[in-house]
Amino acid sequence: MDDKIYTIPEVALYLKLSKTKLYDMVQKGKIPHVRIGRNVRIRGSDLNKWIEANCITIKTPDGYFGRFHVFGK
């Protein structure tokens, strides 16, 4: 994602989350967003920063590293 402005359905598709889950995260302040009247929008740059801040790296027993997103709690 870049510095474009995205709608909830676009971000939900990108994150592979339901729109309902994403709206819930917005309502609880768990994801950066802006409101334009009643409309919710998410900046691509804010989304990228948020994703990086909500990732963990795990080393498996065989020495491989995996990155996991822990958002949506």
Ranges assigned E (strand) in 1-73:
5-7, 34-36, 39-43, 55-59, 65-69
The alpha-carbon radius of gyration of the chain (Å, integer) is 14
Residue-level pLDDT at 67: 64
Helix (H) or strand (E) holding 19: helix 19-27
**The predicted structure's pLDDT at residue 55:** 78
Give the type of residue at 7.
Answer: T
Distance CA 67, CA 6 (A): 24
Q: Which residues of the chain have pLDDT under 50?
A: none
Q: What pTM did the predictor assign? A: 0.76
Which pLDDT score, from 0 to 100, does residue 72 have?
53
